[in-house]
Structure formats: structure tokens, C-alpha cells
């Protein structure tokens, strides 16, 4: 089977993140493979390993859209175990919103499936930068695929995919027929780390770079000009400052209630 996993190069959420320059885009200087995409990659690897791995003709393609640095997310995916990598990169993509991103990714997925269509498109539940969760659903709509989003478990029996999806009020069992698009939560598995063997093996794997011309997308339909939403202004929220800190001397619970009463929160 052929699985395409979408991986995104995002600012490391361990540090303060910033918006910068024209169009208030995210500063990507301190970026890593989005943590949430590691669960999708792990799910893909488990699915092909259960089917005889690459030796049996299965493969996992890691696809990332983004500027030059985004190739690092592809490299990391190869080290973790993806079979090959694809980096969709074009200056005209800068500033794409979810709709424009999904348009470019849909075209790239069609391009990669020109000979053998992918059986499964796997993504994380959200990117850790934009956090909109819009792209998986928009991709499913553009590719006319069933979407199984926020999967916290995933099983595949022939061409039938079964997943669990946990909502606030209920947990659903969901069924779809391949090909399908699946986004997974961080509850689905424990992602593996790249080991020495994987890091060495990754050096021999191919990374294909695609431009918009390669996938037949008009630059006017992506980027800031092709987006359907525009960020008009951005203001850093003033950092919170520490308030009163006390050490419990046996009456901190009462002091807490006094504080709440003073704030009219009782």
C-alpha cells in the first residue's frame, strides 16, 4: 500500500513564537517537525509494517510544503522511517491560508498518485503553529475522499478502515473505504525516535523537490494573493506578570478564598 503522510516544519512550541514582517507570518527560524505529525508518521509505519513493510512493496511518503527549511521536517521523517520524501517548495506559496495550502497539497497528492494513487493520506490532528485543523478536512473535500478525522485508533481490514473518534459528549466508531484521508490525535500511539540505523539509512533515501509548475498549480491561486482570508493586523499580547506569591503557613486555603472574594469571583 502507498501512504502519504503530511509533515509540517513548525516553530518549536517550547520557545516563545513570533509573528514577523509582511502579512504577519510566523517566524520559522527555530523550527522542528510538528510534534503532532509524528503520530501520523508512526501510524503509517505501523500499517505498512503489519503488511510486510517496504519489502512487500509498501511505502510511506513524507510530504511537506514550506520554505527551504521545511526540508528538515522531511529529513526527520526519513530518519524515523518514511520510505521517501517530497518537499513542495515555491516562493509563491508564502502566506498561503488553509484554503490555498489545501489547494497546493491536493495538487501535490494528485501528482504523487499519477501512476499509483495513494491508498491513504495521513495527517496530524492540527499543526502546532496555525492550529486551525482546517487543512485535513479541506484536503478531503478537494480530493473527494472520505475523511476520518481525530482518530484515536485505526484498524485496516482489506479496504475497510475503522477508527475511534472521541468527542466531548460521545465516542464514535467510524468506518470508511479506502482511499481515505485520516487525521490522528496524540492518543493513537507512542511515536518512535530515530535511531542510529535510521539516521544512516535516511542518508540514502531520496527527497524530491516539487515546484508549483511541477504540480500544475497557477501561482495566483496560492500564497497571499490566492488566499481567501487575510490577516490585517497582529499585536503581541502583553506578557502576563507574576502576581502575589505566598507560602502556605497553614491558612493558604483561606487566603485563597479571600483573594477570590476580593476579585468578586465567588
Partner 1 sequence: MAKVLVFIDNPGQALKKASLELLTIARSLGEPAVALNGDLHDDVAATLGAYGAQTLYRPSAADLDDYLVGPKASYLAAAVQTADATVVLTENSAEAKEIAARLGIKLGAGVITDVVAVDPDGTAHKSVLAGSYITTAKATTPVAVLTVKANSITPEPAVTGTAPATVTVEVPETATAASARITARNEKAASGRPDLAEARIVVAGGRGVDGNFGPVEDLADALGAAIGASRAATDAGWIGHDAQIGQTGKTVSPQLYISAGISGAIQQKAGMQTATVIVAVNKDSESPIFEIADFGIVGDLFQVLPQATEEIKKRRG
Contacting partner 1 within 158-177 (CB under 8 A): 162-163, 165-176
Q: Are 90 and 226 in contact (CB under 8 A)?
A: no
What is the distance between the alpha carbons of residues 75 and 79, in angstroms, rounded to a whole number? 6
Instruction: Establish if 145 lies at the interface with partner 1 (CB under 8 A).
Output: yes
- 38 touching partner 1, by CB under 8 A: no
- H helix or E strand, kind and range, residue 167: none
Nearer to partner 1, 49 or 129 (CB): 129
Residues 192-211 that bind partner 1 (CB under 8 A): none
Position among 32, 71, 94, 134 found at the interface with partner 1 (CB under 8 A): 134
Question: Measured from the CB of residue 196, what is the shortest distance to partner 1 in angstroms?
Answer: 28
Which burial class, exposed, middle or buried, applies to 162 when counting CB atoms under 10 A from its CB (0-12, 13-18, 19+)?
A: middle
Residue 210: φ, ψ to 5°? -115, 140
Q: Is 256 in the site for partner 1 (CB under 8 A)?
A: yes
Q: Give the per-residue contact string, 77-116, with partner 1 (x = CB under 8 A; - = no).
A: --------------------xxx--x--------------
Q: Is 257 in the site for partner 1 (CB under 8 A)?
A: yes
| Site residues (CB under 8 A) for partner 1, limited to 213-252 | 227-237, 240-248, 250-252
Q: Is 87 helix (H, G, I), strand (E, B) or coil?
A: strand
Residue with Cβ nearer partner 1 (192 or 221): 221
β-sheet with 207-210: strand ranges across: 160-166, 147-157, 180-184, 120-124, 2-6, 59-65, 84-88, 207-210
Extract the runs of DSSP E, i.e. beta strands, from 34-111: 59-65, 84-88
Q: Per CB under 8 A, does 127 bind partner 1? A: no
Q: Find the binder of partner 1 among 35, 113, 192, 198 (CB under 8 A).
A: 35
Q: Are 58 and 44 in contact, with CB atoms under 8 Å apart? A: no
132 makes contact with partner 1 (CB under 8 A): yes
Amino acid at each position: 500500500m502507498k501512504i502519504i503522510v503530511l509533515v509540517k516544519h513548525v516553530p518549536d512550541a517550547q520557545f516563545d513564537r513570533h509573528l514577523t514582517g509582511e502579512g504577519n507570518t510566523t517566524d520559522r527560524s527555530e523550527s522542528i517537525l510538528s510534534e503532532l505529525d509524528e503520530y501520523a508518521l508512526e501510524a503509517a509505519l505501523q500499517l505498512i509494517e503489519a503488511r510486510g513493510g517496504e519489502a512487500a512493496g509498501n511505502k510511506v511518503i513524507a510530504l511537506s510544503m514550506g520554505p527551504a527549511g521545511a526540508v528538515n521536517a522531511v529529513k526527520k521523517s526519513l530518519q524515523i522511517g518514511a520510505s521517501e520524501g517530497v518537499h513542495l517548495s515555491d516562493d509563491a506559496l508564502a502566506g498561503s491560508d488553509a484554503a490555498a495550502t489545501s489547494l497546493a497539497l491536493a495538487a501535490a497528492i494528485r501528482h504523487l498518485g499519477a501512476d499509483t494513487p495513494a491508498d491513504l493520506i495521513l495527517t496530524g490532528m492540527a499543526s502546532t503553529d496555525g492550529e486551525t485543523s482546517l487543512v485535513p478536512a479541506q484536503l478531503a473535500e478537494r480530493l473527494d475522499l472520505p475523511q476520518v478525522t481525530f482518530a484515536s485508533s485505526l484498524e485496516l481490514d482489506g479496504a475497510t478502515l475503522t477508527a475511534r473518534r472521541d468527542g466531548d459528549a460521545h465516542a464514535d466508531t467510524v468506518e470508511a473505504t479506502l482511499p481515505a484521508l485520516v487525521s490522528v490525535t496524540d492518543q493513537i500511539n507512542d511515536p518512535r525516535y530515530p535511531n542510529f540505523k535510521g539516521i544512516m539509512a535516511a542518508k540514502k533515501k531520496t527527497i524530491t523537490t516539487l515546484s508549483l509548475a511541477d504540480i500544475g498549480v497557477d501561482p495566483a491561486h496560492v500564497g497571499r494573493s490566492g488566499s481567501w482570508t487575510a490577516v490585517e493586523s497582529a499585536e503581541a499580547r502583553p506578557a502576563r506578570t507574576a502576581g502575589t506569591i505566598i507560602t502556605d503557613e497553614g491558612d493558604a486555603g483561606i487566603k485563597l478564598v479571600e483573594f477570590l472574594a476580593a476579585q468578586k469571583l465567588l
